[in-house]
Structure 1
Amino acid sequence: MSKLKKLYVSIILFIILALSIWYLTLDFSRFFSRNYSYDIYPSAMLKRINAILAVFIAWAVDKDGLSLRDSRRMKAAFIFIILGEAAFAIGERAIGVGIFTVCQTLLIVRNSTGLKYKLKHASHIQKKRLIISGFILMLILAVFSFMFASLIKLCSAFIAAYLYGIVLSISLWAGLAANTLELLPKRNSVMVAVGMICFYCCDVLVGLDAVMEAGLPWLWANSLIWIFYIPALVLLALSCYRYNNI
């Protein structure tokens, strides 16, 4: 990675941090005034800017990526992230969920590259970790389907959200597998695993935000969404880069 590229990424990360502090201050100020509005201006705008900046990191990878194929997959995934954000911004939640499902599918393909071979040669401990993590994710899905069974039956949007939850869970498991089996270089694998954990937590909070009535529990869910979402995007974007020569 050239010095100019390092400077470019560092500047973007600094801007993301500064904007995050700004909008999180606005979000959490609602607790003092018991303001249950969805956003305080310009919080929503700052959040979208941060998402776009994360895309800039992913799209700037060029020759500094792990491979040409990996870079192309991640660039495609981040295109769908922006399209999904645009859909949510104009109130098209069902379309947004569908777009993010495509994004997670691309992340599954990228993060599980080489999984079959590595899993075949994995140690007993590695296989045990993956089985346990898979079981926990299936259990969480089962709990959510039980809690919101009536909503899933009555509303097509919730059916779409639940199907997205299945794909998201697979994507998280693939991210954890990438780290456990070191499908990517170590630093990249850690970024992918932590990034996908953040993505998962964010989307769980988005789901809770959608079904909760205005109140303190809703305010907590709404305020925490972007604490997880931007780190998820940044870590996944940074996982595109090759670090062995830095």
Structure 2
Amino acid sequence: MEDMKTRCIMIKRKRYFLLISIIIVSIFSLWFIILDFSRFISLDYSYDIPPSAVLKRINVALAAIICWSVGRDGIDPKDSRRMKAAFVFIILGEAAFNIGERAIGIGMFALCQTLLIIRNSTGLRYKWVKAGFKQKRKLFIPCLIIITSAIIPFLYDYLFKPDNIFLIVYIYGIILSISLWTGHACSILGLLPKVNSRMAASGVTCFFCCDVLVGLDAVLEAGLPWLLANSFIWIFYIPALVLLALSCYRYN
């Protein structure tokens, strides 16, 4: 009885911790969004307005802490370990980008996405066999698009250009697309509990949108299109991290 009472107290504290963390993330997000979009008023093409960069990194750290604090409240120990490792690579990727090591940063995020693929596709083969025609159709068309997108660069001989960054980005793009597909497969086929699978699917979708915007940010010249892409990156990135962090908790 005493153990049960202690457990209930711990669960209540964990809920308060999650609620407070989400409130802080929301306040900081609103703050840096206002700062980012204020650049449209003066047409300021600087990358960040202080303290926008600091607020963004604090939110990344808070999302990681939410994941790492799962403890006994996770879906299962293996799932918790995978998600904790994924957030380690996210933090390492952020650190690499901050010191200008783009290739290493992309590599860290590729490892993160690989772990998300493994995590979100657990039980996929069994569920696929049992799935109905409508479920398979929803997943088959996106899968075909991913395969086509992977083949096109070979047809145009892009991969043989002496640009290592392009090759790294190309490989990361394939991994990211597979991660998006497995995230939605997780939700459609019910590979995780309902709430968790929806969070996972929403998280990888936001991650995908964020990385597409990062790509646009890298290739666009300073101007309104660049400013728009740059301002929306973190609007997708922070929700992606928070949703993925929360997806490893048990909600029964």
TM-score (norm 1): 0.94
Do the aligned partners of residues 150 and 33 (structure 1) sit closer, same or farther apart at CA in structure 2, a change above 3 Å counting?
farther
Aligned-residue offset at 1:81: 0.5
Show the counterpart of 1:240. 248
Q: 2:49 aligns with which of 40, 52, 71?
A: 40
Do the aligned partners of residues 152 and 179 (structure 1) sit closer, same or farther apart at CA in structure 2, a change above 3 Å counting?
farther
Show the counterpart of 2:210. 202
Q: What is the 5 A alignment of 1:30-109?
A: 30-109=39-118
Listed as ranges, the gaps of 5+ residues in structure 1 are none
Q: 1:118 aligns with which of 111, 127, 141?
A: 127
Show the counterpart of 2:5. none
Q: Residues of 2 paired with 1:151 and 1:40: CA distance? A: 37
Aligned-residue offset at 1:154: 4.2
Q: Residues of 1 paired with 2:43 and 2:157: CA distance? A: 31
Do the aligned partners of residues 62 and 78 (structure 1) sit closer, same or farther apart at CA in structure 2, a change above 3 Å counting?
same
Listed as ranges, the gaps of 5+ residues in structure 2 are 1-9
Do the aligned partners of residues 40 and 138 (structure 1) sit closer, same or farther apart at CA in structure 2, a change above 3 Å counting?
farther
Q: Residues of 1 paired with 2:243 and 2:129: CA distance? A: 28
The count of corresponding residues between Structure 1 and Structure 2 is 242
Please state whether the residue corresponding to 1:2 is helix, strand or coil. helix
Percentage identity across paired residues of the two chains? 62
Aligned-residue offset at 1:169: 0.5
Do the aligned partners of residues 15 and 89 (structure 1) sit closer, same or farther apart at CA in structure 2, a change above 3 Å counting?
same
Show the counterpart of 1:161. 169
TM-score (norm 2): 0.92
Q: Residues of 2 paired with 1:225 and 1:151: CA distance? A: 27
* Structure 2 residue 173 is the aligned partner of structure 1 residue 173: no
Q: Residues of 2 paired with 1:67 and 1:184: CA distance? A: 11
Q: Residues of 2 paired with 1:222 and 1:139: CA distance? A: 28
Structure showing greater radius of gyration is 2
Q: 2:139 aligns with which of 130, 144, 148?
A: 130
Do the aligned partners of residues 29 and 150 (structure 1) sit closer, same or farther apart at CA in structure 2, a change above 3 Å counting?
farther
Greater than 4 Å deviation, 4+ residue runs:
138-143, 148-152
Q: 1:217 aligns with which of 220, 225, 230?
A: 225
